[in-house]
Every structure is written in C-alpha cells, then in structure tokens.
Amino acid sequence: MIPEGRGLRIIGDVHGDTKAFAIAADTDLFVIQLGDLVDDGPDTPGTLDIMFRLLDEKRGLFLLGNHDFKLARALRGDFITKSASLHRTLEALSPAQAARAQSEIMQAPAWLNYKNLFFVHGGFHPAMRTTPSPHFPEARPDPLLARALYGQTTGRVTGAGKPERLIGWVHHVPADVIVYCGHDRRSLDDRPYIKCGAQGGTTVFLDTGAGKGGHLSWIDIPAENI
C-alpha cells in the first residue's frame, strides 16, 4: 500500500478542516492520514473530495477512524445513535459522495505495519503487529478493532460526557517501533505529543484539534529515514 522508497507525510485527525487538509495534501510525499476525516468541522464533503483525489492519484491513503466507522455504518443503514455532527455530515454529502465514502471507508485499513513504523487511529496492541487489519465488520468491532478505533477505554465517561481513555498501551510498544496515532488530543502546547513507553517504544499523538477549535498537524518522514 505504501510505495517503496517514498517519503511519508503523516497527517492527524482532520474532522472536516478542508482548508488545512488541502495544504497538508499538497506534497510529493506519500500521505498517510490517521483517520477521522469527517464530522465536527465546517466541510466534510470537501475533506472527502481531497482524500478521494489522493486515492485516485495513488498519492495517499487513510486509516479507519471511529468517526469514519460510524459514518459508514450510518450510510450502510445500520441502526446507530447519530450525533448532531453526524447528522450535519449526512445532510451535507451528495448521493455520489455518500456512495463513495461508504465504499472507501469500508475498505480502509484499521492499522498499518511498515518497517519500524506503525500507524493506527486510536490505540496500539501488540497483537496488531502479527494480525492483518480486519475487514469492515458486519456488527460490533472485535476487541482488537475496538482498540484501533477507540483506544484504551474504561467504560466510564468523563465530566465532559466523553468516554474515559487511558494510554497505558504506550508501554507495550516495542523498543524498535514508532507508533503514529490520532484520536486522543493529548498535546498541551499545540504540537504533536510524543510519549516514550516502558519498553522503549515511541508513540506520537498527532491529533491537535483540527475541526474542533485547534489545528491540523502532520509530520514528514524523508525516505532516507525510514
């Protein structure tokens, strides 16, 4: 899926921030977008159009994020609880965009293992290193896919009404691996948050709030550094 010998641009959660995504996508590097293209921000249709163009030109791919997952399920006709943001997304998509969004999202990988680099939206688990990314599920995601989409959750909610998330999983990243993920906005200085785990592995959290009052972040990896 990733061209050999190509440098990479790793892009965090976009959430409909089309202006920023257009800038990030304007590169000769191969784009890996970490999921959550849709919802929250002002222009999900424009964001999807940029991603579709990257796919058509074989210049990039995106991972399955929890918001993308829920959108595809809604488009498939599953019975789900729709947030106000998802309602806006569904109303904004043309029939052609909706059909392609469902198709592309249902084909998107939940994780990618590439040399010493690992890409996932929500959270890593060691089993992902030896388990192929699964097909889009007919029903609820299994525990490994749930980890990829939602990270490490406790079943409780925070005072803000959001699921409580832990990042203890960073301590299970092997010493020779760098994990790039989105989903959790852990940064305190508007830059990607970097955490070294107990085994010596490194995790880079790239969600800095695009579409949610923050901005879009990305990291470039030259071919010679891979």
* Model confidence pLDDT, tens digit, residues 166-203: 899 999 999 999 999 999 999 888 899 999 999 999 99
- Residue 160 counted as domain residue: yes
- pTM, full prediction: 0.95
- By the 10 Å C-beta count (0-12 exposed, 13-18 middle, 19+ buried), 165 is classed as middle
Number of neighbouring beta carbons within 10 Å of residue 127: 11
Answer yes or no: is pLDDT of 1 > 90.
Answer: no
Task: Note the pLDDT of residue 188.
Answer: 84
Cα dihedral 119→78→98→10 (10° resolution): -10
- The CATH number of the domain holding residue 132 is 3.60.21.10
Mean pLDDT for the stretch of residues 123-140: 95
Q: What is the pLDDT of residue 219?
A: 97
Provide the domain limits for residue 128: 8-225
Segment 123-149 mean pLDDT: 95
Does any domain span residue 1?
Answer: no
Number of compact structural domains in the chain? 1
Residue 2 is assigned to a structural domain of this protein: no
- For residue 201, the model assigns a pLDDT of 97
What integer is the mean pLDDT of 119-130? 97
